[in-house]
Structure 1
Amino acid sequence: MNKRDYKESAPGEIYHVYNRGVANENIFIDQEDYSFFTYRLRQNLFPDEELEYSKTRIAVLPPKSFSLLGYCLMPNHFHLLIRQNGKISTSTLLLKVLTSYSKFYNKRHGRIGHLFQDRFKQVHVSDDRYLTWLSAYIHQNPKVAGLVNDPAKYKWSSYLDYITQTHGSIITGQDIILGQFKNKSDYKGFVESSYKIIKEKKDLEEYLLDI
């Protein structure tokens, strides 16, 4: 499958979905922006939940349509690892979330025009090695960018869901990745050891192409 063919996503498959702001501009300014983006994700991942953020009901996707294996929201871009569980495509989920978020962001910040650069990118995750390296890459993004010294201290990623016991998370599929390690500590060690390799992108061209 072409890595950017949005129409051919298939049930049971995992995809790395990412995009950045138009002209590399920030897409998240403050905590309320990050919170609203994750809220819109949660609303479509868990439509049966009573969510207090919204004052009105909106059309959401059927329960368990997708599993979110990991994510990282950076100031000017985002990464999502998504498993499509049924026939509803990942593009349906992303278009709902990104359209809603763009309207929210533009209204809140007095902005007009496109927020995101082109359409989102989607890469099929074809094997376990690819999946584990992508997970490490996504979780190391804040440290590689110099935002934190320890990725565990970055609030807007799923890393803590992998290395600690968390509650109320939007992550539902971490066992797919953690199942390839002895335990959470083993996974943490893998991510920590990956930092230098990821920063230099040594031997990762086939996995991190065009990110």
Structure 2
Amino acid sequence: MIMEIVTLEVRMPRRARLLLPGMPLHIVQRGHNRQQCFFNQTDYLFFLSLLQDFAGRLNCPIHAYVLMTNHVHVLASFSELTDIACVMKGVAQEYAQYINRRAGRTGALWEGRYRSCPVPTERYVMACQRYIELNPVRAGMVDSPELYRWSSYNGNAGFREDPLLTPHFLYEGLAPDPGERHECYRQLFRRPLTVKQLEELRGSINCGHVPGASGGKRGRRWNN
């Protein structure tokens, strides 16, 4: 007797995104199969211009960001929770089209859906900004965050103007005077993030939950 084996593909429903009014979102978009997404200075500048354009149109303040070679981190606030999809989808699509035209390539540039998780303000916002802006240091690309051009650190630390940034109120609360505020911000980076903070922030973006909540060890893990 010949038995026919039939394999059924079962697709699990996508997990609903956790969006909490009043909480900034930590967003990560990664290259397809971890492939490179930025190839020269013009690419980085074009992506940042797109992010500034879409966030400005929808009144979505950007508090921190970093563009790595194969992924992007953004910390942003959204007055309308549906705007996150408009911003990230718009930026990702236009940037992918630009790269495909410039490089004469086809196919997916991004891995698919961006990842996101809410960031409770009082405990995690400043830690999340440090986590994002220290990515190039953890990756061994630079020795200190001010040496990496494609992040928000130099803007938040007062080393240069960054028109993309809108300060979070906790950042503004570091000190009333801008010069003192910048120095306070730099001081934060002289203390490394704790192992617990790193695990909680990584776990939250891996699984889409609030940092510190249970479940951070499930799902696919990313190191940066």
TM bin, normalised by shorter chain, reads 0.7 to 0.9
Instruction: Tell me how far 1:98 sits from its aligned partner.
Output: 0.5
1:5 maps to which of 16, 29, 32: 16
Deviations 1:148-181 (A, max 9, x none): 1121121110001111163352001x24242353
Residue 77 of structure 2: aligned partner? 83
Q: How does 1:87-126 map to 2 (within 5 A)?
A: 88-126=82-120
1:176 corresponds to which letter in structure 2? F
Instruction: Indicate how the Cα distance of structure 1 residues 9 and 202 shifts in structure 2: closer, same or farther if over 3 A, else same.
Output: closer
8 A contact 1:37–1:97 mirrored in 2: yes
2:174 corresponds to which letter in structure 1? F
Instruction: Tell me how far 1:124 sits from its aligned partner.
Output: 0.8
1:161 maps to which of 155, 158, 164: 155
Q: TM-score, normalised by structure 2?
A: 0.75
Residue 16 of structure 1: aligned partner? 26
SS class of match (2:201): helix
Identity across the alignment (%): 27
1:102 corresponds to which letter in structure 2? A
- The 1-side partners of 2:170 and 2:66 are apart by 16
8 A contact 1:67–1:85 mirrored in 2: no
SS class of match (1:156): coil
Deviations 1:97-134 (A, max 9, x none): 10100111111112211111121001111232221111
Q: TM-score, normalised by structure 1?
A: 0.80
Instruction: Tell me how far 1:208 sits from its aligned partner.
Output: 2.1
Instruction: Indicate how the Cα distance of structure 1 residues 10 and 175 shifts in structure 2: closer, same or farther if over 3 A, else same.
Output: closer
8 A contact 2:131–2:198 mirrored in 1: no
Residue 140 of structure 1: aligned partner? 134
2:143 corresponds to which letter in structure 1? N
8 A contact 1:45–1:66 mirrored in 2: yes
Instruction: Indicate how the Cα distance of structure 1 residues 143 and 165 shifts in structure 2: closer, same or farther if over 3 A, else same.
Output: closer
8 A contact 2:24–2:121 mirrored in 1: no
Residue 67 of structure 1: aligned partner? 61
Identify the structure with bigger relative contact order (alpha carbons < 8 Å, sequence gap 6+).
1
2:184 maps to which of 162, 183, 186: 186
Q: Any stretches of 5+ residues in structure 1 without a counterpart?
A: 47-60
8 A contact 1:178–1:184 mirrored in 2: no
- The 2-side partners of 1:138 and 1:37 are apart by 17
Equivalent pairs, count: 186
SS class of match (2:74): strand
Q: Any stretches of 5+ residues in structure 2 without a counterpart?
A: 1-14, 176-180, 207-221
Instruction: Tell me how far 1:204 sits from its aligned partner.
Output: 3.0
Matched, 1:26 2:36: yes
8 A contact 1:21–1:27 mirrored in 2: yes
